Amino acid sequence: MSLFVAEGLVKRFGGLLATDHVDLTVAPGEIHALIGPNGAGKSTLVNLISGLIPADAGRIVLDGVDLTALAPHQRVRHGLARCFQITSVFRNDSVRDNLLLAVQAQAGSSFRCLRRREAETVLMDGALTLADKVGLAEVLDRPAGTLPHGMQKRLDVALALAARPKLLLLDEPMAGMGPEDSLQMVALIDRLRRDAAILLIEHDMDAVFQLADRISVLVYGRVLTSGDAAHVKGHPEVQSVYLGTEGHA
Amino acid sequence: MAQPAFATRFPGAVRRLPWLVLALLAVFPLLAPTLGLEYYVGFVRRVLIVAIAATSLNFILGYGGMAALGHAGFIGVGAYTVVALVEAGVSSAWLAWGGALVFGGLAAALIGAVSLRTRGVYFIMITLAFAQMLYYLAVSLRTYGGDDGYGLYTPLAMGPWLDGAHPDVFYWVVLAIAAGVFALFSRVAHSRYGHALRGIRDNETRMVALGYPVFRLKLAGFVAAGAVAGLAGGLLASHNTFVSPGMMHWTQSALLLVMVILGGLGRRWGAPLGVALWLTLEEALKMHTDYWHWPLGVLLLLVVFHAPQGLAALLERRGDRQGGAA
Amino acid sequence: MSAIPLLSCRGLEAGYGASQVLFGLDFEIRPGEVMALLGRNGMGKSTTIRTIVGGLRPQRGEILFDGRPIQAARADHIARLGVAIVPEGRQCFPNLTVREHLVAFADRRNGVAEPWTLERLYGLFPRLAERADHMGNQLSGGEQQMLAIARALSTNPRLLILDEATEGLAPVIRDEIWRCLALLKAQGQTTLVVDKYVEKLLPLADRNLILERGRIAWQGSSAELDAQREVWHRYLGV
Amino acid sequence: MDAIFVFEQLLNGLGYGLMLFLIAAGLTLVFGIMDTMNLAHGSLYMAGAYVAARVHEASGSFAGAVLAAVLVTVAVAALLELLVVRHLYRRDHLVQVLATFGIILIADDAVKAIWGVAPLMASTPAALAGPVQLFEGLPYPAYRLLLIGAGLLVALGLYLLVNNTRVGMLVRAGASNRQMAEFMGVRVGAVFSFVFALGAGLAALAGALMAPISSVQVGMGEAILIPALVVIVIGGIGSVRGAFVAALLVGLVDTAGRAFLPPALRAVLPPSVAADLGPALAGIAMYVLMAAVLTLKPAGLFPARA
Amino acid sequence: ADIKVGIALDISGPFAALGAEARDGFELAIEKLGGKLGGQPAEFLRTDFGGNPEQANQLVARYLQRDKIDFFTGPIGSNAALAVGPALFAAKVPYLSANPGPSAYAGEKCSPYFFAQYQNDTYDEAAGKVANEKGYKNVVLIAPNYPAGKDHLNGFKRLYKGAVKDEIYTKLGQIDYAAEIAQIRAAKPDAVFFFLPGAMGINFVKQFVGGGLKDIPLIAPGFSADEDVIQAVGEPMIGVLNTAHWTHDLQNPANAEFVSAFRKKYDGRYPSVYAAMAYDTLMAMDAAVRDVGGKVADREAVLKALKSPSFSSVRGEFKYGVNNFPVQNYYLREVGKDADGRITNKLVGTTLEQHQDAYVGACKM
Ligand SMILES: Nc1ncnc2c1ncn2[C@@H]1O[C@H](COP(=O)(O)OP(=O)(O)OP(=O)(O)O)[C@@H](O)[C@H]1O
Ligand SMILES: Nc1ncnc2c1ncn2[C@@H]1O[C@H](COP(=O)(O)OP(=O)(O)OP(=O)(O)O)[C@@H](O)[C@H]1O
Ligand SMILES: [Mg+2]
Ligand SMILES: [Mg+2]
């Protein structure tokens, strides 16, 4: 039984078929990695699933709810949260304010406009819990833009987590990280396994092979093959179009 | 940058300043005759009314990042609502101004529903387009005087306890409304809604991905601002005892924008400060020279280069920033 | 090796506003050399690069390019002397097509024997040829990265600086970049590289510089570094 | 209503559109491509018109007047750039609005002080004063043909400059990411100064050419600014092609609205309603067009930047 | 105390050109009067309305409350006049209009405190009569699309007996008139009557002549063909027929003195009707103050003195109707060249004699 099903997703940019009838499933608790050459359409696929760009065709179902017709923010409400390939946090706000904003989105009633937010302990508690979870409790008062890259990325993940997602979409979470930060991020993602199923896009093969329960390879907008790490590593075409020498590692 | 020396040296004074200002404004009409400043009661009243409109613009622009260049359109809608209601026989100020508020909000809802799909300069221009349509509509509206305008010479009644014809009473009513609007928007700025709005200003895409109904949030702010601007328009109609399409011309929208930026975008005191300074200078310069525009131009350049965060930034404590230029 | 270094930094100090990031860096890059700049996140690698290319004024110290001081020069001037950068975060121009990225700045020869022509660049990254008429912001992350590299090469730089240039690239393309850098090295291209794939970088680099909190903590040849595992562990977190 | 009349009105629409393009051209360059909101563009237009009018009257040479207008305005603009505009490129749009609004206030007072408030005489060069017979039954003002020609030439030149020259690429690069462009060796400051001067030259050209058919007076710049902005916004900011198409579209819609809408309404509505509605609708045609376009395409007809 | 006169200028904004003309008229008069009124020391307070009726009220409030003025005059726009009137009337301050004569003040809303120079429509009525006299059977009318535009066209139609081929209403502030000119060409009228103030008129006439319609006569109320427009349009204006209650070559001693003093002070320029009216307004005040012996506080007396003017007006003989709007002559002028080759209006003849406005009947005063 799949938690998440995407069926026949199609997206065209002018003459370019960026997403070509993609079918994809994610099982509960699974980390499903999506790899593929640059420009294969991985980010596009995430954008289609999260609703940031409208699909030309196809269907998206999460936990039995058809999300296809819903606006992006409604999809979040139904348990579909995401991070961005380029870290996207509120750079001028403190980490605390970033987290509060995310928690508030989940708490709803953002039209509440007379009560001072500082007085809302529910939100504060939520923010602190999140900060603990991703290891940002020490830097709550720093403006997010001044944090080191790895921390910003973790904050980005925390923002997505606030929605208590059933499925978390991570677009290159390891991007721009040194080995140390990468390890931290891998550990974090591994921990998140318990909270949500994850669709992971990543070019860092060490991380992918370490984390993924299943790997799908996207090439020219189409799923080339799908299987566990061993299967993918051994797939000759995947080696030639994507893995190169890393396939032999 | 210029350090807010005054504020850091006297933090207590700064905190009490709003109340002091309010108290001074409240007793001003009583003191004015002894000081020979009766005329300035009317002047301050106008400043207060314009400040109401500017505060609403500051709210959507400074906090929401919506640079609307058609705000005078809502002021006009409010003013013409009062005209239409008076023409239809309404004599209660509360009804007329209430109507201005409602129709200002309605106009904003319609215009916002279309305009808020666009961003940046496109948003600036589409709001301008709608305001210009309203302007030309008013110019050709024969019933309400068209370009000649419409006089509202009988003061509106303010109920059994308030003498609507008394200029000081009207002053206090305006002051109360202005203080209320100001307090309301300041309050909202720190609420959940206010924070959400600022989040949208800073990173709209991320807000969508966090699950915020961004369009509805923006529209709500736009409608609130439109309604308050409509109210200001209604008050302005009563204050001027005259309404003409000129008040909706795009230059009026631009001036309002200029006053808000001058005062300090997204800063609590930005709007009233900007309005007070601009109108005072205009008033003073006009008396002394035919060439009264250029000093204002120089002032704008000075602000751009030496106080880019606006005047309010010079007064506020550093930590009290509520969000910077959008 | 020629006696006069292509780039040398002496007592370089730099930072952002009140916060100082670099504390007196001394190093030089000789012509034809590949220098790797290593260090964990936030140690000042990008800041060093930004200071060299004129994006950040040094607070103290001296930078010489080809013997001439450039620490006070404007960024565009330094670029025209023959310094090209592939910056962190790609920084492709959203409103230029791929082709335009590769021809707009390509008027310099810098005495290079075999200049990078459009064809050669397309040969290096066939993907870019396919996307020639796309705008910079219509590219995938990796395509943007390729474009940034190709754009830097298009100026035929005397000193090529790569800040995390393999970031976000597919493994095959990363391999491609390494091969390309090796090729460039063989042609005598002087290069300063920052990259997180240290194992890939070592065979390429002549010398390595490790930054720790804005100071040079270690420097030496790749062979030396390879031999000193504890240095890896202490400064690179692996 | 016969075919010639319809044709004539179409021609009028195109003519008006090209006139708008002529005015919008400099704005497209500075605002659209350099991403700098210069409200004072109208003031440069005004300066061009005033200088041209004065020089034409004094010297009797129209070509000389146009040339003088361009040169003087470019000189003024260079000074303006040096003192003010240069420091605005990196600031956000609202700050640019504020500062250039300030320039408008100063410029209007300056023009008033130099030339007075009364509108100036700006006559049509004698050779082009009358109409030419395009074909039987259709005289067309010769001077407008000149305007049409100038509009087309400017459109072509601008298109080539922006899209097919390196300067165009460098400008766009500098506008979207100044620091990166500098890292690539572009003297962004110099390129911008050049483009601003070019934009000012185009504004002056438009002012000088428009002077003989419009009123040369203080405030003429502001009146023209809004239609020009409308044009480049409909076209899609940053796109010369867009501005060109939009200018023609606005010209046609506006002219058609004035020429055909009132009679059409009179045919279907009661006369009193039609008399009120027709001109009112025709007056806002341009704005309705813009609102409609932006509703359907929020980034204009030819969005240059996604 | 000094006698205080509040003068509202419009030297910026849409009426700036006309406002500057009026200012020159005021300045000349103040100079001639030696800064006094009726021999009494006087203070002339000037301020700029900027053509903005909303602000007009604010500025008038300052005149009334702070400066406590005894007379008011100045603004160019009808809308400003309508906006400030009630406050002035309530404060019992005589308002001598230096230009607009809105129909409301001539009729229903007439006030003993308001004195006009003409009624807005009377120029057009005169123009209608001119069209009759010239034998034009078919005319096209053109005006901006706002109520005043319609009023002016209605004024024309009041006395015009021929057929109206088309009534064209254009956008306020329009720049391009090609579409309208094509319509006019298609309609082939005997003449075109246009009311297009300021820049609109300048654009229209230039393009009209450039479009090859020079042979179709143009008729206008004097506002659309006064010195400001003539000097801006130049040659193409020649031959435009227009009507006004005054012209600079009107033969009477007061006018001769005014015109020569004006031309002397302002380097040879002919005064426009706005300058003449501004000048005349202060002359009227001067006479009234003299008549009441400087006791301007006695407003009843001042009004009485104003109502029966004892000065020689630059426009010659006139008297006030019950509504304080003048009963006076209206003249036909034609744009031509004077002896020095300067393009200007020239008096052709008297069109309406001792004419009264059409609204006087509605005035209960
Ligand atoms: N807005 C757009 N307009 C046109 N083409 C686009 C647009 N966005 C993406 N593309 C194209 O669609 C293709 C897929 O892009 P996408 O960003 O999904 O790739 P990706 O698999 O995420 O690659 P990477 O690993 O490099 O990030 C690319 O070739 C890209 O050029
Ligand atoms: N624009 C900036 N303003 C203020 N501080 C900055 C800025 N950019 C970087 N820093 C700080 O300077 C220090 C060094 O940053 P730098 O980017 O040079 O590190 P790095 O070695 O390149 O790291 P990474 O591997 O993350 O790219 C960090 O502590 C960082 O937080
Ligand atoms: Mg991607
Ligand atoms: Mg770095």
Ligand index nearest the alpha carbon of residue C42: 2
Closest CA to D283 of D255, D302, D263: D255
Axis-axis angle for helices B214-240, B192-202 (nearest 10): 110
Q: How far is CA D155 from CA D25, D31, D141, in A?
A: 7, 16, 21
Q: According to the model, what pLDDT value does residue B174 have?
A: 96
Does B3 score more than 60 pLDDT? no
Q: According to the model, what pLDDT value does residue B326 have?
A: 33
Fold for D3-120+143-296, please state it: ABC transporter involved in vitamin B12 uptake, BtuC (1.10.3470)
Does D74 score more than 80 pLDDT? yes
A101-110, A158-167, B220-229, E116-125, range with the lowest pLDDT? A101-110
Q: According to the model, what pLDDT value does residue B1 have?
A: 39
Write out the residues surrounding ion ligand 4, Cβ under 5 A: C 45-46, 88
C-alpha count within 13 angstroms, C-beta hemisphere, residue C5: 15
CA-CA distance, E116 to D203, in Å (whole number)? 44
The residue extents of the domains of chain D are: 3-120+143-296
B143-168: pLDDT as tens digits: 888 888 888 878 888 888 888 788 88
Q: Is B40 helix (H, G, I), strand (E, B) or coil?
A: helix
State ipTM.
0.87
Contacts of B11 (CB under 8 A, 6+ apart): B317
Q: Ligand 2 centre from C44 Cα, in Å?
A: 6
Q: How far is CA E195 from CA A72, E114, E161, E189, E222, in A?
A: 57, 25, 18, 16, 9
The predicted model gives E208-228 an average pLDDT of 92
A188-202, D265-279, E222-236, E339-353, range with the lowest pLDDT? D265-279
Cβ atoms of residues D32 and D243 within 8 Å? yes
Ligand index nearest the alpha carbon of residue A41: 1
B241 touches chain E (CB under 8 A): yes
CB contact under 8 A, D259 and E170: no
The predicted model gives E123-152 an average pLDDT of 93
Contacts of D149 (CB under 8 A, 6+ apart): none
Identity of the residue numbered C65: F
Owning domain of residue A195: 4-88+163-244
CA distance, residue D287 to nearest chain B CA (Å): 5
CA-nearest residue of chain D to E209?
D130
Cβ atoms of residues C220 and C207 within 8 Å? yes
CA-CA distance, C144 to C94, in Å (whole number)? 10
Q: According to the model, what pLDDT value does residue B33 have?
A: 86
Which residues are D138's β-sheet partners?
Answer: D135
CB contact under 8 A, B125 and D112: no
Does E261 score more than 90 pLDDT? yes
A44-95: pLDDT as tens digits: 999 999 998 999 999 999 999 999 999 999 999 999 999 988 888 999 999 9
CA distance, residue C168 to nearest chain D CA (Å): 20
Chains that touch D (3 or more CB pairs under 8 A): B, C, E
Position A209 in a domain: yes
B99-111: pLDDT as tens digits: 999 999 999 999 9
CA distance, residue E342 to nearest chain B CA (Å): 29
Does A248 score more than 80 pLDDT? no
The predicted model gives E205-214 an average pLDDT of 90
Ligand index nearest the alpha carbon of residue C38: 2
Other Cβ atoms closer than 10 A to C115: 15
Question: How many contacts does D have with E, using Cβ atoms within 8 A?
Answer: 130
C164-204: pLDDT as tens digits: 888 888 888 888 888 888 988 998 899 999 998 888 899 99
CA-nearest residue of chain B to E60?
B39
Closest CA to D125 of D72, D205, D56: D56
Q: Ligand 1 centre from A233 Cα, in Å?
A: 24
Contacts of D285 (CB under 8 A, 6+ apart): D253, D254, D256, D257, D258, D261
Other Cβ atoms closer than 10 A to E207: 24
> Which residue puts its alpha carbon closest to atom 22 of ligand 1?
A43
The DSSP element (H or E) to which E86 belongs, if any, is helix E78-90
Mean pLDDT (chain C) is 89
Please tell me which of the candidates D112, D233, D283 has its beta carbon nearest to residue B121. D233
CB contact under 8 A, A113 and B208: no
CA-CA distance, A237 to E275, in Å (whole number)? 91
Shortest-distance atom of ligand 2 to CA A150: 26
Position A123 in a domain: no
Q: Is E218 helix (H, G, I), strand (E, B) or coil?
A: strand
D45-73: pLDDT as tens digits: 999 999 999 999 999 999 999 999 999 99
Q: According to the model, what pLDDT value does residue A105 have?
A: 87
Does B307 score more than 90 pLDDT? no
Cβ atoms of residues E119 and E158 within 8 Å? no
Q: Is B84 helix (H, G, I), strand (E, B) or coil?
A: helix
Chain C residues with CB-CB distance to D186 below 8 A: 76, 79, 105
Residues with CB under 6 A from ligand 2: A 146, 148-149, 178; C 16, 19, 21, 39, 41-47, 88
Q: What is the CATH number of domain C1-73+197-238?
A: 3.40.50.300
Cβ atoms of residues D87 and B305 within 8 Å? yes
The predicted model gives A99-117 an average pLDDT of 82
E77-105: pLDDT as tens digits: 888 999 999 999 999 999 999 999 999 99
CB contact under 8 A, C95 and D238: yes
| Domains in chain A, number | 1
Chains that touch B (3 or more CB pairs under 8 A): A, D, E
CA-CA distance, C86 to C154, in Å (whole number)? 12
CA-CA distance, D159 to D152, in Å (whole number)? 10
CB contact under 8 A, B236 and E54: yes
CB contact under 8 A, B209 and A116: no
Contacts of B308 (CB under 8 A, 6+ apart): B325, D91, D95
The predicted model gives A8-34 an average pLDDT of 93
B9 touches chain A (CB under 8 A): no
CB contact under 8 A, B210 and A93: no
CB contact under 8 A, E53 and B236: no
B20-48: pLDDT as tens digits: 889 999 999 999 888 888 888 989 999 99
Identity of the residue numbered E134: K
Position A190 in a domain: yes
The predicted model gives D260-272 an average pLDDT of 84
CB contact under 8 A, C139 and A39: yes
Higher-pLDDT residue of C199 and E280 is E280
The predicted model gives D127-141 an average pLDDT of 83
Q: According to the model, what pLDDT value does residue B48 have?
A: 97
Chain B residues with CB-CB distance to A81 below 8 A: 209, 211
In chain B, what are the domains? 2-315 (1.10.3470)
Shortest-distance atom of ligand 1 to CA C142: 26
Q: According to the model, what pLDDT value does residue B283 have?
A: 86
CA distance, residue D33 to nearest chain C CA (Å): 9
Q: Ligand 1 centre from C144 Cα, in Å?
A: 10
Closest CA to E344 of E250, E234, E216, E195: E234
Nearest 5°: CA angle at E349, between E345 and E353?
A: 120
Task: Give the pairing of strands C34-38 and C190-194.
Answer: parallel
Which H, E and C letters describe A176-216, residue by residue?
CCCHHHHHHHHHHHHHHCCCCEEEEECCCHHHHHHHCCEEE
Q: The pTM is what?
A: 0.89
- Token pair in block for residue C92: 């492709």
Q: According to the model, what pLDDT value does residue E252 have?
A: 95
* B 85-144 residues with CB < 8 A to D: 114-115, 117-122, 124-126, 128-130, 132-133, 136-137, 139-140, 142
CA-CA distance, B260 to B264, in Å (whole number)? 6
Q: How confident is the model at residue A249 (pLDDT cuts 50, 70, 90)?
A: very low
CB contact under 8 A, C79 and D185: yes
Q: According to the model, what pLDDT value does residue A225 have?
A: 93
Does D304 score more than 80 pLDDT? no
Cβ atoms of residues E323 and E359 within 8 Å? yes
Provide the strand spans (E) within B191-298. Answer: 242-243
Task: Pick from E49, E168, E172, E206 the residue to mutate for testing the D interface (most D CBs within 10 Å).
Answer: E206
Closest CA to D169 of C127, C75, C151, C141: C151
D48 touches chain C (CB under 8 A): no
Q: How confident is the model at residue A97 (pLDDT cuts 50, 70, 90)?
A: very high
Q: Ligand 4 centre from C41 Cα, in Å?
A: 7
Please tell me which of the candidates C80, C104, C135 has its beta carbon nearest to residue D169. C104
CA-CA distance, B79 to B97, in Å (whole number)? 9
Chain A residues with CB-CB distance to B318 below 8 A: none
The residue extents of the domains of chain C are: 1-73+197-238
Ligand index nearest the alpha carbon of residue A17: 1
- Token pair in block for residue C173: 């393309």
CA-CA distance, B166 to B159, in Å (whole number)? 13
In this structure, what CATH number is given to the domain that contains residue A210?
A: 3.40.50.300
CA-CA distance, E113 to E91, in Å (whole number)? 10
CA-CA distance, C222 to C204, in Å (whole number)? 8
Identity of the residue numbered D171: V
Higher-pLDDT residue of B235 and B168 is B235
Cβ atoms of residues E40 and E294 within 8 Å? yes
Q: If you ran DSSP here, which 8-state letter would residue B83 be given?
A: H
Mean pLDDT (chain E) is 93
Q: How confident is the model at residue C12 (pLDDT cuts 50, 70, 90)?
A: very high
- Token pair in block for residue A217: 């390879």
* A 14-53 residues with CB < 8 A to B: 50, 52
Q: According to the model, what pLDDT value does residue B312 have?
A: 84
CA-nearest residue of chain C to D305?
C95
Ligand index nearest the alpha carbon of residue A38: 1
CA-nearest residue of chain B to D32?
B121
